[in-house]
Chain A
Amino acid sequence: MKTKIITLISGILFGFGITISQMSNPYKVLNFLDVTGSWDPSLALVMASALLITIPGYLLILKMQRPIHIESFDLPTTKQIDLTLIIGAICFGIGWGIAGYCPGPGLAALAFNWKEAFPFLIAVIAGGYISDLVMRAMNK
């Protein structure tokens, strides 16, 4: 129960943060990505501000023996830098640059622009399944 409450509160903070920073405003995202056009560096500051807190924060927290509410840290273990990672990042970048939404801001936009957010998110889920099918076919 305690972990669930933390998850919900973290989610709320995250959604509030995305919305106040306007990462969920696709004009702002596209103006950040469009360096040659009407460039707006705001989103670089969102990331810089977040990282300035999370980098020292992660260092400190990961020195703890265990997280407060569960027995151990559950961190990603893959270290490999392979084609799957690169092709994935390329596809994600292409998609992000087409409409200006990444997954978090897409979810936040459900609150005020569901006409854009809903079809985007359904396509994200569908894309996830397409990628699973392709990976399965390639592994055969």
Chain B
Amino acid sequence: METDFTPYFSIIGGALIAFSVLMMLAFNGRVTGISGFIHSLARGKKSVDNGLFIAGIILGAFLYMLFNSGSVVVREDYSILLLILSGLFVGIGTRLGSGCTSGHGICGISRFSLRSIIATMTFMLFGGISTYLIRHIF
């Protein structure tokens, strides 16, 4: 399905994500890595903090729906097997690589962490390869 280029919503969304990340650092002294929050919560570590941020994400998405549910796209025809396969890879990869788009891509790059810069370039490249294979080859 084709999607429109939506620069204004992208910029506003990016800015809100940035404010969230900066609040977490300035007040709580923590980087914001969502995969880390999920894996830690699954292991009962810092359950309240991790749980609150995760609940906040879901709540934030609900809030947006209250304002503008018409613009939210719901995909319905995707293979459940591919979703599970995707989740397994994301789970293994974020655990091994200690981060995802937020932890490496935003917080790590903002700290000029070489690890995060390399990780981000790697997962972007392989995300592109993987989508290319799924869409155009298989």
Contact = CB atoms under 8 A, between A and B. Distances in A.
Main secondary structure of the interface of A (DSSP, over half): helix
Interface string A16-36: 111111111111101101111
Contacts of A124: 35, 38, 87-88, 90-91, 94
Contact of A91 (B18, B97, B128): B97
How many A residues touch the partner, as a band?
Answer: 35 or more
A8 interface: yes
Interface residues of B, number: 111
A40 B58 contact: no
B13 A21 contact: yes
B14 A128 contact: no
Interface in A35-94: 35-38, 40-43, 45-55, 57-58, 61-62, 64, 66-70, 72-76, 78-81, 84-94
Given A10-B20, A124-B87, A132-B95, A98 B82 contact: yes
B115 A69 contact: no
Contacts, number: 489
Contacts of B111: 58, 62, 75
A11 B54 contact: yes
Contact of A10 (B24, B71, B96, B132): B24
3 tightest Cβ-Cβ pairs between the two chains A and B: A11-B56, A127-B91, A21-B13
Given A14-B21, A34-B135, A112-B74, 7 more contacts: A16-B63, A17-B60, A37-B132, A93-B93, A101-B90, A124-B90, A128-B94
